[in-house]
Amino acid sequence: MKFIVSSSALLRQLQAVQGVIQTNNVLPILGHYLFDVDAKNLTICTTDLNTTMRTRLGVEGNGRAKVAVDGRILLETLKTLPDQPISISFDLKSFAVELHTDKGKFKISGENGEEFPTLPDMPGNQHFSLPSDALLTGISNTLFAVGTDELRLAMTGVKMECAGDTLSFVATDAHKLVLHKQGGISVPAAAGFIVPRKALNLLKATLPGDETPVKVDYNNTHVAFSFRDLELVCRLIDQKYPDYQAVIPKESTNRLVIKRTEFLSSLRRISIYSSKSTYQVRLSIKGSELQLSAEDPDFANQATETISCDYNGADLEIGFNARFLVEMLSTLSGDEVQFELSLSSRPGVLRPVHQEDQEDTLMLLMPVMLSDYRS
């Protein structure tokens, strides 16, 4: 059985799904690509048992075959080939794979495709659609805040909540929290599910930044994202998500409006002088001035910088982890941000002053206890 395909088209599809493959696999076949081919189409599948990606492209072939091909060797071979039609044939007894180019022949070992793990069934699933750029924005705005502590498994993913015409994305690691709401989406019923970090990273790398429709199918155990010729299916995190609404302040007495890039630049400079164990930066707000300061007592380094702001509230001094604050300001868009504060022991809330239509982004950061090394 053989088929003909463009080498560059095949390479693009292999690269689109290769992120699922792990370096150390419990089963050797998980390091392979599953090729399922008929006379007109080639379906390529990769999986780590929790996340599966599948893509399709057109080919010219004869017959039907299902073979698992060594992923590393095939990918490295295609990377070195110029764009050209290549002929690929399968030996259905040994499952060997042969690539024929205009100048050479390459033989790669394979395995029986029937032994490759199958895609999970999704009985009783519900679905909705949204533009690719809306999904990409939701993922990009929240993924950095996902936790890494496996003992808090629920926090290692992004919670997606459907209600009315709104899809919410929530991420937290107990130090910072992000809530991004995307309106204008018709969902069948109120629902919530936690999508693992790995699946979202793969989506972020493959989603087009336009209005390509993305179909989202979900049930109690899995969620599937389908767009163009690509599909990603992953197992959901079966844990109860923290009550994030309880930590979001209902009102704030102090509001600071400041230019985002100026705040970010100053913060990056000042954080160079902060303690490498706490990354503490001190914000002192008085009138229309924000003073940023940091110091590292172990090396007697310190820095202070003052920038203009629009502030409505009482004089306040509060500390934050500079790395977390930089992450938030780097992720937010727009020229200005609003920083809502109350007490030095209460969390601060960042929002863009001007938000896109149908979008609402809120970022919450817990303060750190100020250490006063000044004499």
pLDDT attached to residue 1: 83
Average of per-residue pLDDT across 100-114: 93
Cα–Cα distance measured from residue 269 to residue 263, given in angstroms and rounded to the nearest whole number = 10
Which two tokens mark 272?
């160079």
Cβ partners under 8 Å of residue 67, min gap 6: 34, 35, 90, 92, 95, 97, 110, 111, 112, 113
Average confidence score pLDDT of the chain: 93
- Rounded percentage of the chain residues whose pLDDT exceeds 70: 98
pLDDT in tens, 330-359: 999 999 999 999 999 999 999 999 998 889
Q: What value, to the nearest 5°, has the Cα angle with vertex 34 and ends 29 and 39?
A: 155
CB 39 within 8 A of CB 65: no
In the predicted structure, residue 308 carries a pLDDT above the cut 90: yes
* CB atoms near residue 93 (< 10 Å): 6
pLDDT attached to residue 372: 64
Collapsing DSSP to helix, strand or coil, 244 comes out as helix
HSE toward the beta carbon, residue 308, CA cutoff 13 A? 0
pLDDT attached to residue 61: 84
pLDDT attached to residue 373: 54
Average of per-residue pLDDT across 203-224: 94
Average of per-residue pLDDT across 6-35: 93
CB 254 within 8 A of CB 312: yes
Cα–Cα distance measured from residue 214 to residue 225, given in angstroms and rounded to the nearest whole number = 6
Collapsing DSSP to helix, strand or coil, 126 comes out as strand
Closest CA to 98 of 112, 84, 86: 86
pLDDT attached to residue 120: 77
pLDDT attached to residue 224: 95
Average of per-residue pLDDT across 155-166: 93
Long-range contacts of 137-142 (CB under 8 A, 24+ apart): 137/180, 137/182, 137/359, 138/167, 138/169, 138/180, 138/182, 139/169, 139/200, 139/203, 139/204, 139/207, 140/204, 140/331, 141/169, 141/178, 141/180, 141/331, 141/361, 142/169, 142/170, 142/171, 142/178, 142/180
Cα–Cα distance measured from residue 259 to residue 303, given in angstroms and rounded to the nearest whole number = 21
Cα–Cα distance measured from residue 10 to residue 19, given in angstroms and rounded to the nearest whole number = 16
Cα–Cα distance measured from residue 49 to residue 19, given in angstroms and rounded to the nearest whole number = 13
Q: List C-alpha distances in Å: 222 to 58, 154, 248.
A: 28, 15, 29
In the predicted structure, residue 118 carries a pLDDT above the cut 90: no
Collapsing DSSP to helix, strand or coil, 192 comes out as strand
In the predicted structure, residue 296 carries a pLDDT above the cut 80: yes
Average of per-residue pLDDT across 257-279: 96
In the predicted structure, residue 122 carries a pLDDT above the cut 80: no
Cβ partners under 8 Å of residue 203, min gap 6: 135, 136, 139, 225, 232
* DSSP code per residue over 246-266: GGS-S--SEEEEEEHHHHHHH
Q: Could you give the domains of the chain?
A: 2-115 (3.10.150.10), 126-245 (3.10.150.10), 249-365 (3.10.150.10)
Q: What are phi and psi for residue 140, nearest 5 degrees?
A: -65, -35
pLDDT in tens, 33-68: 999 998 899 999 999 999 999 999 999 988 889 999
Cα–Cα distance measured from residue 321 to residue 119, given in angstroms and rounded to the nearest whole number = 42
pLDDT in tens, 167-200: 999 999 999 999 999 999 888 778 899 999 999 9
pLDDT attached to residue 375: 43
pTM for the model: 0.91
pLDDT in tens, 69-84: 988 899 999 999 999 9
Task: Check residue 40 and report its DSSP letter.
Answer: S
Q: Which residue has the higher pLDDT, 113 or 39?
A: 113
Average of per-residue pLDDT across 151-162: 96
Collapsing DSSP to helix, strand or coil, 170 comes out as strand
